[in-house]
Amino acid sequence: MDGGLKKTKGLREKFSFALAGLSYAWRTQNNLRFHLLAALGALLAAFLFRVSAKELLFLFFAIFLVFVAEMFNTAVELTVDLFGPGHHRLAKAAKDVAAGAVLLAAINSLIIGFLVFYPHFVAIFKR
């Protein structure tokens, strides 16, 4: 038994669901919007410093990793909240672990940003 869930019909419908998920996260998650501003700042700096294609690849990987982690964190929080307003130690643990994944992704992006931009800053101050 499928529990009353309708199967998706095609690729267009699947993309529609994915875009709806992105839209929901954008509208409801302040952290996602903050991460987007930080990403735009990093990309602006990459443009100004004329970073290499390889450096840009690392920046994009770090940026998208944070977005993916934030989306999974939102999905975990919504799923846990689905089971009621009460507090349970496992529900808290699930939310904490998901938030920890976002923190690790953000730390990763800071490290990558430092490794990419540090040589460019040093070059400016050596002039």
Catalytic annotation present for 70: yes
Contact assessment for residue 74 and residue 25, using Cβ atoms and an 8 Å cutoff: yes
Looking at 13, 55, 70, 77, which residue is catalytic? 70
d(CA 68, CA 64): 6
Q: Which residues contact residue 60 at a Cβ distance below 8 angstroms, ignoring those fewer than 6 apart?
A: none
Tell me how far CA of residue 13 lies from CA of 7, 20, 38, in angstroms. 10, 10, 31
The residues assigned a catalytic role are 70
